[in-house]
Structure formats: structure tokens, C-alpha cells
Amino acid sequence: MALLVTGGAGFIGSNFIRDWLALGDEPVVNLDKLTYAGNPANLGQYVGDRRYTLVQGDIGDAALVAQLLATVQPRAVLNFAAESHVDRSILGADDFIQTNIVGTFRLLEAVRAYWKGLQGEAHAAFRFLHVSTDEVYGTLSPTDPPFAETNRYEPNSPYAATKAASDHLVRAWHHTHGLPVITTNCSNNYGPYHFPEKLIPLVIHNALAGKPLPIYGDGQQVRDWLYVGDHCSAIRTVLAGGRLGETYNIGGWNEKPNLEVVRTLCAHLDALAPRADGASYATQITFVKDRPGHDRRYAIDARKLERELGWRPAETFDTGIEKTVRWYLANPQWVQDVTSGAYREWVGAQYGAATP
């Protein structure tokens, strides 16, 4: 028995694989295109481990995926593979359309052919778990209830639109072809091995480097923050017991405005790695022009997952954010390795020459 994980060298996928291998011996084969955010070093500790195999490749490569399925014979496919950064999707949506829509379609077709060839218990027990986002639901007003699985899709960014399309494809392959699928829609993740283009790792990296801490608009955009370890435990729970064809929202029950998140990070850094001049890292906060179409609020209602499968997050925002800050402080080499010249050029183009 084995799992095939796509996009497993990225942030959430690599955390899932690491947690999975820490809990048991079932092998994992990781298919990853190894784009800028796919980092083999995230799972470097498992090089040479018989339970882990990395295959560089694209979910859109139908022949490769078919060959891999025939060789590995997985009991489940978990699809983490996606282009995921809203800002990048605004600057250029082509990669998002190719990976999130076309890639998901080709993956589904390859998996369907493989599943149809299975017999008996292997056919009945097979699962395709598709990892998606709360951004497919659009935005909320301050008084709206959190997103439930029954909310209609209203994606507002090119990224969200491509993820919404992938969710619809997964649903259609279940209802039309009977493919045994489950979809999860998660809120904003944070934690170790997060590429420093997203808010929390970017703030930590910039703070320690003495750079501005860029905040879009007024910083009052609200997100529901989910520690990545909790997300991984939820995915394991859904894989083990989720109902076929269903969607499960995964959230942290931690709604926070972006400005509050940044100030909290600054407070932890002040305590754990104080600036040489004694000033707070909060003095580096800089407000920059808001991005186009910026959603104001996301919030996840995860009661279905708790009601049906008994899952709740283990981390509060305070415990999760402290673990995250401590990890980045303890792993400066990882940060240095991923912050290449190309990354710095992109950050400069995105945020400009803002000064605190």
C-alpha cells in the first residue's frame, strides 16, 4: 500500500508527508514539478528512506502520471499541486490556468483510468482527495456568517477562479464517472517551510533583515488562520473517514486582521530575537497600495468536519504563531536557500521601494 501525493515538495504538501511518515510506515510517492515554491529540501531528511520517493514531474503530463499510477499502485491520490499565490495570479494567470485547471483535468483522467482497472477491495477503497481553498467562496462582510460547504462559489481573483474550476472538475468526475473523490477547502495556512512570499513568512524574513514589513491597504483584511499541522491532521481524518463526493471545510477558528497578525509577529520577534537598537520590529511596518480586488474577509465554518469526523484544531493562534516564529529563527539556512535572487526581484516588483 502507498499514497501518491502531488505537489508534495511545497509548503502544505511537504508538511503532510513529513507528518505522515512520522506516524507510520506506509510509503509516499511525491510527484512535484519543483517550481520556485517546490523545495526538495523540505523533505531532505527522507532522502534514502525506503518509504519516500520524489518524482519530478507535472500533473499535466498524462503519460507520466499514468505510468506512475501503474508502477506505484496507490490506494489514494492526494492532490496538493497548485499555483497558489494571489499576487502572482494577478500579474500573470497563465501558469494558474495550466496547473490548477488543465493539470487537474489531466490528473483526474489518469486517475479515473487507473481506478477503473482496479478490482475488488482495491477498487472500493480507492480515494482521490483534492486540497482546495476558502477563496473559492469569495469575500464576506464583517457581519456575514463564516463560509459553509453550502456557500455558492464567487471567486474574485484569478487564483481563486482557477481553484474553483478545479473543484468543479473534481465534483463532475464524481457525479459523472463515479470517481471516489473528497474535496477539502482550507483557510489560510501558516507554519514551518512556508515560502516567504505569503504574509507571515514574509514579515518574519523582512523583520530580521531590517526591511519594511509591507501591509496592503489599511491592514484590516480578515483571515481565518490555520496552523499547517492542524491542516495535515484534518486531511488524514478526511482521508480515513470522509464521505465520498463530499466537501469538508477546514478552518482554525482564528479570525484575525492582517495588521493584528503582523503586530503579533513583531511582539514575538521582540521577545525572541530583539533588535540591536532595542526598538520594536513594529517600527518597520509600512502600508502599501492595496492589491486589485482584495477580498476583505474570509472565515471558515468547520462544524461539519467536527460533527461527522470529530476533528478540531489542536493549536490556538497564539501557540501556532509562536511555534512558527521559533522555527524560522532556528532555520535561517532554509530561509537563505529559498530567498534567491529571482525571489528578491519579484518582491521588489510587487511591493516597490517602500520604506518604513
**Spatial separation of the C-alpha atoms in residues 191 and 211, rounded to whole Å:** 21
Cβ neighbours, 10 Å, residue 87: 18
Q: Is the separation of the CB atoms in 59 and 108 below 8 Å?
A: no
Q: What would you report as the CA-atom Rg of the chain, rounded to the nearest whole angstrom?
A: 20
Query: Which of 114, 159, 216, 248 is the catalytic position?
Result: 159
Give burial (CB, 10 Å; 0-12/13-18/19+) of 342: exposed
**Spatial separation of the C-alpha atoms in residues 5 and 46, rounded to whole Å:** 15
Query: Cα 263–232–136 angle (5° rounding)?
Result: 70
25 is catalytic: no
Q: Is the separation of the CB atoms in 147 and 302 below 8 Å?
A: no
In 3D space, the residue among 81, 9, 8, 16 whose CA is nearest the CA of residue 338 turns out to be: 9
Q: Is the separation of the CB atoms in 78 and 16 below 8 Å?
A: yes
| DSSP H stretches of helix in the chain | 11-23, 62-72, 86-91, 94-96, 104-116, 120-125, 158-177, 199-208, 228-241, 258-272, 303-309, 317-330, 332-338, 341-351
Task: Kindly list the distances between the CA atom of residue 106 and the CA atoms of 20, 59, 101, in Å, as whole numbers in the listed order.
Answer: 26, 7, 9
Instruction: Quote the DSSP letter at residue 198.
Output: S
Query: Which of 58, 83, 87, 135 is the catalytic position?
Result: 135
What separation, in Å, do the N-terminal and C-terminal C-alpha atoms of the chain show?
A: 53
135 is catalytic: yes
193 is catalytic: no
Query: Which of 58, 83, 87, 134 is the catalytic position?
Result: 134
Residues 6+ apart with CB under 8 A from 12: 80, 131, 186, 189, 228, 231, 232
Max Cα distance, the chain (Å): 68
Active-site annotation, residues: 134-135, 159
